[in-house]
Every structure is written in C-alpha cells, then in structure tokens.
Amino acid sequence: MTIPMKPIGFVRTDAVQIPRHWTLSQIEGLLVVDKKYLEGLKDIKSGHRIVVIFHFHESPPFTREHLVQESSHRRQKLGVFSICSPIRPNPLGMSVLEVLESSENVIRVKGLDMIDGTPILDIKPLVEDKHSCSNYQENRCTGELFHGMD
Amino acid sequence: MTIPMKPIGFVRTDAVQIPRHWTLSQIEGLLVVDKKYLEGLKDIKSGHRIVVIFHFHESPPFTREHLVQESSHRRQKLGVFSICSPIRPNPLGMSVLEVLESSENVIRVKGLDMIDGTPILDIKPLVEDKHSCSNYQENRCTGELFHGMD
C-alpha cells in the first residue's frame, strides 16, 4: 500500500546554517507555492502562524538501525517516534512558521528549519486548542466534519 | 515528482461519531503500529502528547472546486490552506493526541478525530516552543541537525 504525495511548492532561503528545529529558528525565507493553488492561499495573512508539512528530501533511506537514534546534541538514544530526526519511516517534517507577508503565490515566513529546495506537501492553520478555535482568530479553526462531507 | 508514503500503522476505534477536530475530541482509541517499528516506540509514555500525521484515506480527489471551501458549521468560504478540511491537495491530517498507555506496538490515545482504519504515516513528539525543549520534558525536543547528520 503506497500513498503518493506531490509537492505543492518549495522552500526558498539563502540561509545555509539551518537550526535543527523551528522553535530555535529566526531564519526567514519564502514558501513558493504552485500557482494553480493560488486561490487556496487567499486567507493566509501577515501575523498568522501556519503549520507546514514537508518532505525531508535529502534523508537517506530508513533502515532498522534508525529505529533508535542518538542525537548529535544530547547523549541519549531515543526511539525515532520520540525525536524530530529527518531519518524516519516516512520522511515527513512539520514546522510552525510565522507569516511575515503573503502575496500572490509566495508566503514570506520566519522560523524556517528547512533547507532551500525542500518540497512542501501541505499548509494548515495552527489550531492549538479549542479556546483558540472559538476566541482567538476565527479562520484558524474552520474545518469540515472529517470523513462526513455530505 | 511523486513522493511515496507507506502507512506505519492504523487507527482503531469503536467510535462512529468523530469530532471534526482533535481540540474538540475526548474519543479514545488505539494506534496499532507495525511490529517492525516496535523499538522506535520505546520512549512513548503515558501522559505524553504526540503529533500524529495521517492519511485522509476516504477523501474524494482534490479538484479546483476545493481550493475555496465553505465549512459545514460556519458560513464562510476560506482557502483550503486556512482550514482543516480533509479534502486537500495532499490528503494529510495532523492531530495532537494524549497517550493514555503504550504497550508493545499499541498506543492507547485520547482526542481522536480520525475514523477507524485511518492509515498513520508518522508519530512525532509535541514540541510547542523552545521553553518546552529545555524545561518541560527532555525527550520531547531531541532532534538531529536537519539535513546535516555527519
């Protein structure tokens, strides 16, 4: 069973030193989305925080030896599902970025932990809890009934 | 350019009424992970909050008409990248779940917004900000230097 994904766009940044995690990053860059998705970007505004799901496209293939990994900055061996390593069974990354500006099909963001050329698979609104749903920003919490669209 | 993903496991739940979003859910269920990934689960413990990336496997194919969608519970048309609709260019879902128990290859969770049979693509630790990295729980913030593992 294989599930095929296609990039909706790519990360562009001049930065070469990329922090290991978005919580540690002040790096700015661009999310350049395929123009065919332009209308889908219309409600992304400066100041929003967005969730970006992306492909760790430079990761080596995952093997049994990667089930437990020792991080470079911490002397502890942890299961792959408890760390953010780019070497994972499905090489999916997830970052929360701040929108600085959104114009046409290009979103300028801050907090990048992806390298230049990273394929973007999805962009979602950040919804942290039900309070942010009802109070904080209306369009962050809109969602259809999952699997029941009729 | 197609990026192939394979399920690492599947959601199991008896619930038939599934909330539209994890922030609104008290539903319990199981994440049954393929046994070949057992070692990778060893550091997931009761009380942890985990990020689960999954496949909206029952969504219809995405077409241009889905670029802007009106939600069933809100009279507002929004771009697909600003809502959590399951009908997306890449049908990826993301939920934050609470771990009730983790034993062998089965994780009992609370907060489900996926239906029974949903394919799971990845499980990650929840890292909310750099403070949760340094203070809250050590193994939530371990990560390798992205794209620079040498």
Cα(A103)–Cα(A36) distance, rounded to whole angstroms?
A: 14
Local structure of B31: helix, strand or coil:
strand
> Residues A55-104: pLDDT tens digits?
999 999 999 999 999 876 667 899 999 998 999 999 999 999 999 999 99
Question: Is 50 exceeded by the pLDDT of residue B60?
Answer: yes
pLDDT of residue A145: 33
Residue B40, pLDDT > 90, answer yes
CA distance B102 to chain A (A): 12
Q: Tell me if residue B68 falls in helix, strand or coil.
A: strand
pLDDT value for A18: 80
pLDDT at B4: 96
Instruction: Please indicate, yes or no, whether residues B15 and B76 belong to a single structural domain of this protein.
Output: no
Mean local confidence (pLDDT), A125-150: 43
Q: How many CB atoms lie within 10 A of CB B134?
A: 10
Pair (B47, B13) in one structural domain:
yes
Say yes or no: B52 and B19 in one domain: yes
Total domain count for chain B?
Answer: 2
Residues B105 and B73 in one domain: no
Higher pLDDT, B71 or B143: B71
CB atoms B40 and A4 under 8 Å? no
Has residue A31 been placed in a domain? yes
Residues B127 and B69 in one domain: no
Same domain, B13 and B81: no
- Nearest CA among A61, A112, A115 for reference residue A88: A61
How far is residue A54's CA from residue B146's CA, in Å, rounded to a whole number? 12
**Listed range (A50-54, A128-132, B131-135) with the worst mean pLDDT:** B131-135
Q: Is residue A117 part of a domain?
A: yes
The predicted model gives A109-120 an average pLDDT of 94
Instruction: Please answer yes or no on whether B114 and A78 come within 8 Å at the CB atom.
Output: no
Question: Could you give phi then psi for residue A38, rounded to 5 degrees?
Answer: -50, -50
**Shared domain check, B51 and B102:** yes
Whether pTM > 0.90 for this model: the answer is no
Count CB atoms within 10 A of the CB of residue A46. Answer: 12
pLDDT at A120: 98
Task: Give me the mean pLDDT over the B39-61 stretch.
Answer: 96
Look at B79 and A147 and tell me if their CB atoms are within 8 Å: no
Residue B76 pLDDT level (bands cut at 50, 70, 90): confident
Interchain CB distance below 8 Å, B56 and A92: no
Dist. CA B24–CA A130, nearest whole Å: 6
The strand pairing partners of B10, in sequence order, are B32, B119
Reply yes or no on whether the pLDDT at B146 is more than 90.
no
Structure tokens given for A74: 């911490």
Q: What is the pLDDT of residue A92?
A: 97
Same domain, B81 and B50: no
**Local structure of residue B118 (DSSP, 8 states):** P
Judge if B22 and B45 occupy the same domain: yes
The pLDDT of B68-90, averaged and rounded, is 88
Q: Which of A6, A20, A51 sits opposite B146 (nearest CB)?
A: A20
Q: Do A89 and B8 touch (CB under 8 A)?
A: yes
Contact status, residue A144 vs residue A137, Cβ threshold 8 Å: no
Q: Assign residue A47 a region: left if phi > 0, alpha if psi is -120 to 50, beta otherwise?
A: left
Closest CA to A83 of B7, B126, B111: B126
Q: Quick one: what percent of chain B has pLDDT higher than 90?
A: 68
Q: Are residues B75 and B99 in the same domain?
A: no
Residue among B23, B74, B146 whose CB faces A129 most closely: B23
Q: Select the residue from B13, B44, B65, B81 to test the A interface by mutation, using most A Cβ atoms within 10 A.
A: B81
Residue B40, domain member (yes or no)? yes
Q: Which domain holds residue B99?
A: 9-56+94-140
- CA B142, CA A33: separation in Å to the nearest integer? 30
Judged by CB atoms closer than 8 Å, whether chains meet at B79 and A23 is answered as: no
B-chain CB neighbours of A130 within 8 Å are 23-24
In a domain, B147, yes or no: no
Q: What is the radius of gyration, based on Cα positions, of chain B?
A: 17
- Cβ of B138 within 8 Å of Cβ of A88? The answer is no
The percentage of residues in chain B with a pLDDT greater than 70, rounded to a whole number, is 83
Taking alpha carbons only, the member of A23, A115, A26 closest to residue B149 is: A115
Domain presence at residue A61 = no
d(CA B18, CA B28): 10
The more confident residue out of A59 and A131 is A59
| CATH number of A20's domain | 2.40.30.70
Q: What is the dihedral of CA B114, B119, B121, B127, to 10 degrees?
A: 20
Q: Give pLDDT, residue B32.
A: 98
- Predicted pLDDT of residue B24: 77
Residue B19 and residue B78 share a domain? no
Residue A17 belongs to a domain: yes
Candidates A1, A4, A113; nearest CB to B7: A1
Q: Both tokens of residue B149?
A: 């593992």
Domain contains A74: no
Separation in Å, CA of B14 to nearest CA in chain A: 15
pLDDT at A116: 94
Task: Indicate if B15 and B75 belong to the same structural domain.
Answer: no
pLDDT beyond 80 at B23: no
A77 within a domain of the structure (yes/no): no
pLDDT tens profile A12-44: 999 888 877 777 778 899 999 999 999 999 999
Q: What is the ipTM of this complex?
A: 0.85
